[in-house]
Chains A and B, each alone.
Chain A
């Protein structure tokens, strides 16, 4: 099925759908410009703007449900941006509105949670300003109707991520992590930028509505080049190999940030990009798609392996995020059916990963910001709400039957299996590792001996933090079933991503699903043996070579350091030296030569009249001689 025609603005709420972006942006502006004056009520304004944006998104969604499925593609032009290149406009279709609902919905919950989490921070207002800025940029990213507007949102979320990772900028580690995230993302953005150039020079436009229908007319090489460059951009934003290294460091930011930006929404922007451009630039059997699947599988395994060795609860979850996005990326490389499962997993992941991160934040909140799981233990009775909700999220992510992850992840694995058995089995293996490391997190945190220091008094978090957890846990539990059973999401997304009319039926019980389940159970069991039954040592044991390998993030940072950072430093030093000594040296040398020469020539002026007279005589004689010679010629 070809993507439907884009309809023009039908009015109603859709006509003012730009409010979704404008409201949080306004919130950010008021909070940043208002300064300390807005400290008292700043967080309420932030929450209000996020909620208002959610309400608009919901109204737009319901208005769109009233249209026939084929007409659910509406453009809302805003204004002329760069004449002849790009105008700003929004594209409201099932794909973008799904994202908008996820972003504003989960975003609002995290805003509410942050009121409690950040209550002791003197800069809470600034935090909410950045959160609002993020929501606005992220919405622009997913709602934009062309690549340039998308790029504005794309870098806008990068900025928000930079500001929020470095929110506690007085910590050098946080400042460095923030810079690293931005710079690594910029490498990806470089790819996206070049992709946009190729799109414009090939199609004469950057608008989705003009580019996608004509994609078939371009040469195969061009399409593959665009696809690979878009993938580079996606790798940066979504922390996929080889641009994964920033995500673990990004955990320096406050935990709600990790939940919202580095788990639920921003890091999935890469998946959005691939799915959005999918029909045009990632044809199911093309090279670009193949590379997408390879990147996805590699990352899902790498992330899972990293997750197994981390003692920092947030870093373990970050590894898990990488891994889950790897699944989405894998799915996004599998063609239209894969897109639907990628989006389904993306939405459920948004819920359960936000749930897990906020749960981790709740634990940290009660533990004096301790992040080392070896210092936790036996918290299930002291933090019952956190424990229960975390448990739901945990069961959802490992794919416990009938919870969200079970439906969406299995969908991906089965689609991959149909596509290519190797990919499928690697994805199954990833699921097994997921079972291990997530169980490890749960056992180390909530079970076993109490290993914390004497001055720590763990307590349950306030209601403003637990209620968002409860809502997210509910979503983690049921959303997967709701979206996947009877192909609800597929039917809804169909017109946007170009699904075939005949949709494959989803089997609740399948051989592959059972195999996956068995592996997950094995992983969880092994975790129980190592971390549930045995006592967890407070100081991490040295571990085998493999443990070190995983602890050091598969030597990703070491690799970057050896390949880019050190040569870069040398190059910089060399360039500075060359500039001072070489280029400027040449200039100063020239000046010095001229100065020196005149200094030497000056010596001719001895002050002796006789020598002046002699030179006059000699000169006159030469002139006379020359005149004589010329005269005789």
Chain B
């Protein structure tokens, strides 16, 4: 079964269908149905994936531009699979959450939902692509639906935010395009297929240049400090649902790309760049957290917390230990759920009161306890409370980093303290204290919103207590990656008995 093509095909056909539905309500329902079908198919596909089988499964390869060795090549390994699963889970939730978000937009409601489905197809495609050229195409094409979702349905400063997002990403993308073409030419294999290009570039200097081309694109996408300033603008101006997909999935393409392409294609250059990348990550972790503490806008605050979290992910990737890389991959998934929940609940809050600013809230817990409770759980996941999903990944990343780079790991661990500060202070200012006059009549979450929040919270708790199923899928792929990078795993100082 060509699972991956089916997934993308269903989304694209759904998008076309939705675009021509006249009735807005029907368009929403159709979108929800399509995204649920995609989710169901993804789950079926995941079940058929055998973690300890071949690295790439569900392989499909067809010639696309034979003259240049460009293929339509899709397949998944464990890392790509969990990220596709993340996308497939988030889209129906976002659809349900965005039920009324597109009504105030410049364009029609059905366009918004159609764009969502197009985006879903591209998200699946970008993670599934095994042809680097195809990856590049998806990488850039994803910008377009997101550009319109921000630019046409966003907040007051949407144009500025959308253009900034587009220009930043295009800049990175073009650098990558240069590197992609150079890789094709220098490798001289006449193909863009990723598995054949592993180890193709031997010369260290060439590796460094090509690495930079890829890395800067991914660092902008992720975003790493200091390429991050587009994210708070884009995330704050985007409608909540689009912000979830932007931060939850699109940005993961950056960290995914680092793990998949930077490390495996340019192992020597990656090792050469590690000190700088780790330094940038640690700066990002602490800096993002400190700036988050000082934010006055809820959505910007959450965006800055994400910058801090992306620092953790990048650090885990470049620590090049199995705990670090597996933890980083798990972090990508967990961050999607926990930040997704935070953005969506903040979106519900903002929808009710019509203000982005923290100071306009206060005492919401008293009038909307379910909303406040859900916000707290999502927030606690954001501060990596043990027992919730983010803890497992953050712990693994820090542990994996500590095994190789003790000092950066210790500095990064201060982010744990700062996270408590920014989350709880935000929670205190919005939810605790005397009930503000303006929120006194605020309704609690309605049925639709509870259905949005419930699956995320369930995932947050379940993945916090039983991360093993996901890790079992991730670990073999990560091991393969690290083998291709040929790093030796640091052994414990006191060797285990019998060794």
Indicate whether A and B are direct neighbours in the complex (CB within 8 Å): yes
Chain A positions within 8 Å of B455 at CB level: none
Contact A82 B290, CB 8 Å, known A170-B366, A183-B420: no
Q: Which of A166, A197, A583 contacts B226 (CB 8 A)?
A: A583
A608-627 CB mask vs B (1 if < 8 Å, else 0) is: 00000000000000000000
> In the bound complex, what is the Cα–Cα distance between A200 and B496 (angstroms)?
11
**Chain B residue, CB-CB nearest to A86:** B395
B413 within 8 A of A: yes
Q: Is the CB of A83 within 8 A of B496?
A: no
Q: Is the CB of B433 within 8 A of A204?
A: no
**Chain B residue, CB-CB nearest to A587:** B229
A218 within 8 A of B: yes
Chain B positions within 8 Å of A464 at CB level: none
Q: Is the CB of B432 within 8 A of A169?
A: yes
Q: Is the CB of A170 within 8 A of B416?
A: no
* Interface stretch of the complex, out of A92-100, A103-111, A174-182, A397-405: A174-182
Interface pairs A-B: 8 shortest CB-CB = A204-B492, A175-B432, A576-B294, A152-B386, A584-B229, A197-B402, A572-B294, A169-B432
Chain A positions within 8 Å of B402 at CB level: 194, 197-198, 200-201
Chain A positions within 8 Å of B276 at CB level: none
> In the bound complex, what is the Cα–Cα distance between A69 and B243 (angstroms)?
60
**Chain A residue, CB-CB nearest to B410:** A194
A214 within 8 A of B: yes
**Chain B residue, CB-CB nearest to A585:** B229
Given A166-B432, A176-B428, A190-B413, 20 more pairs with CB closer than 8 A: A79-B466, A79-B468, A81-B468, A152-B387, A155-B387, A155-B391, A169-B433, A170-B366, A170-B435, A172-B432, A179-B425, A179-B428, A182-B420, A190-B414, A197-B399, A197-B402, A218-B494, A572-B293, A579-B287, A579-B291
Q: Is the CB of B424 within 8 A of A182?
A: yes
Chain B positions within 8 Å of A148 at CB level: 395
Q: Is the CB of B287 within 8 A of A575?
A: yes
Q: Give B459-475 interface residues, CB cut-off 8 Å to A.
A: 466-468, 471-472, 475
Q: Is the CB of A572 within 8 A of B416?
A: no
**Chain A residue, CB-CB nearest to B429:** A175
Q: Is the CB of A222 within 8 A of B493?
A: yes
Chain A positions within 8 Å of B281 at CB level: none
From B295, B399, B425, B466, residue with most partner A Cβ within 10 Å: B399
CB A26 to nearest CB in B, in angstroms, measures 14
Contact A202 B417, CB 8 Å, known A84-B322, A156-B386, A579-B291: no
A44 within 8 A of B: no
Q: Which residues of A contact B (CB under 8 A)?
A: 32, 35, 79-85, 148, 151-152, 154-156, 159, 162, 166, 169-172, 175-176, 178-179, 182-183, 186-187, 189-190, 193-194, 196-198, 200-205, 214, 217-219, 222, 571-573, 575-576, 579, 583-584, 587, 591
Q: Which of B290, B380, B495 contacts A571 (CB 8 A)?
A: B290
Q: Which of B380, B385, B434, B475 contacts A83 (CB 8 A)?
A: B475
Q: Give B439-489 interface residues, CB cut-off 8 Å to A.
A: 466-468, 471-472, 475
Q: Is the CB of B417 within 8 A of A190?
A: yes
B380-408 CB mask vs A (1 if < 8 Å, else 0) is: 10000111000110011011001100100
Chain B positions within 8 Å of A81 at CB level: 392, 467-468
Q: Is the CB of A155 within 8 A of B386?
A: yes
Q: Is the CB of B414 within 8 A of A84?
A: no
From B167, B294, B413, B496, residue with most partner A Cβ within 10 Å: B294
Chain A positions within 8 Å of B406 at CB level: 197
> Can you report 14 residue pairs joining A to B where beta carbons are below 8 Å apart?
A84-B322, A159-B380, A170-B366, A170-B433, A170-B435, A171-B433, A201-B492, A202-B494, A572-B291, A576-B291, A579-B291, A583-B225, A583-B229, A584-B229
> In the bound complex, what is the Cα–Cα distance between A214 and B492 (angstroms)?
12
B66 within 8 A of A: no
Q: Is the CB of A169 within 8 A of B365?
A: yes
Q: Is the CB of B386 within 8 A of A583?
A: no
Chain B positions within 8 Å of A189 at CB level: 416
Q: Is the CB of B492 within 8 A of A193?
A: no
Q: Is the CB of B398 within 8 A of A193?
A: yes
Q: Is the CB of B399 within 8 A of A85?
A: yes
> In the bound complex, what is the Cα–Cα distance between A202 and B472 (angstroms)?
25
CB B455 to nearest CB in A, in angstroms, measures 14
Q: Is the CB of B294 within 8 A of A575?
A: yes
Q: Which of B291, B391, B428 contacts A175 (CB 8 A)?
A: B428
> In the bound complex, what is the Cα–Cα distance between A509 and B417 (angstroms)?
48
**How big is the B interface, by class?**
35 or more
Chain A positions within 8 Å of B168 at CB level: 587
Contact A183 B416, CB 8 Å, known A166-B432, A222-B493, A576-B295: no
> In the bound complex, what is the Cα–Cα distance between A400 and B365 (angstroms)?
47
B19-45 CB mask vs A (1 if < 8 Å, else 0) is: 000000000000000000000000000
B409 within 8 A of A: yes
Q: Which residues of B contact A (CB under 8 A)?
A: 164, 167-168, 225-226, 228-230, 287, 290-291, 293-295, 322-323, 363, 365-366, 370, 373, 380, 385-387, 391-392, 395-396, 398-399, 402-403, 406, 409-410, 413-414, 416-417, 420-421, 424-425, 428, 431-435, 466-468, 471-472, 475, 490-497
CB B304 to nearest CB in A, in angstroms, measures 8
Chain A positions within 8 Å of B291 at CB level: 572, 575-576, 579
Q: Is the CB of B387 within 8 A of A156?
A: yes
CB B198 to nearest CB in A, in angstroms, measures 25
Q: Is the CB of B433 within 8 A of A175?
A: yes
Contact A82 B395, CB 8 Å, known A175-B433, A222-B493: yes
> In the bound complex, what is the Cα–Cα distance between A614 and B170 (angstroms)?
37
Q: Is the CB of B433 within 8 A of A190?
A: no
CB B449 to nearest CB in A, in angstroms, measures 15
Q: Is the CB of B386 within 8 A of A82?
A: no
Chain B positions within 8 Å of A82 at CB level: 392, 395-396, 467-468, 471
> In the bound complex, what is the Cα–Cα distance between A534 and B24 (angstroms)?
81
Q: Is the CB of B468 within 8 A of A197?
A: no
**Chain A residue, CB-CB nearest to B384:** A155
Q: Which of A85, A194, A587 contacts B323 (CB 8 A)?
A: A85
From B370, B387, B420, B472, residue with most partner A Cβ within 10 Å: B420
Q: Which of B385, B413, B431, B475 contacts A169 (CB 8 A)?
A: B431
Q: Is the CB of B493 within 8 A of A202?
A: yes
Q: Is the CB of B434 within 8 A of A197?
A: no
> In the bound complex, what is the Cα–Cα distance between A201 and B410 (angstroms)?
14
> In the bound complex, what is the Cα–Cα distance between A79 and B465 (angstroms)?
10
Contact A201 B293, CB 8 Å, known A84-B322, A85-B399: no
Q: Is the CB of A583 within 8 A of B432?
A: no
Contact A193 B293, CB 8 Å, known A169-B365, A169-B431, A175-B428: no
> In the bound complex, what is the Cα–Cα distance between A83 and B226 (angstroms)?
34
From A79, A85, A187, residue with most partner B Cβ within 10 Å: A85
> In the bound complex, what is the Cα–Cα distance between A591 and B164 (angstroms)?
9
> In the bound complex, what is the Cα–Cα distance between A187 and B413 (angstroms)?
10
Q: Is the CB of B322 within 8 A of A573?
A: no
**Chain B residue, CB-CB nearest to A158:** B385
**Chain A residue, CB-CB nearest to B422:** A572
**Chain B residue, CB-CB nearest to A193:** B413
From B225, B392, B490, residue with most partner A Cβ within 10 Å: B392
> In the bound complex, what is the Cα–Cα distance between A575 and B228 (angstroms)?
14
CB B302 to nearest CB in A, in angstroms, measures 15
Chain B positions within 8 Å of A183 at CB level: 417, 420-421, 424
Chain B positions within 8 Å of A84 at CB level: 322-323, 475
> In the bound complex, what is the Cα–Cα distance between A83 and B396 (angstroms)?
11
Chain B positions within 8 Å of A162 at CB level: 424
CB B106 to nearest CB in A, in angstroms, measures 23
Chain B positions within 8 Å of A587 at CB level: 164, 168, 229-230
> In the bound complex, what is the Cα–Cα distance between A587 and B385 (angstroms)?
35
Contact A151 B386, CB 8 Å, known A179-B428, A204-B496, A583-B228: yes
> In the bound complex, what is the Cα–Cα distance between A82 and B469 (angstroms)?
10
**Chain A residue, CB-CB nearest to B428:** A175
> In the bound complex, what is the Cα–Cα distance between A151 and B495 (angstroms)?
24
CB B308 to nearest CB in A, in angstroms, measures 12
Chain A positions within 8 Å of B491 at CB level: 204
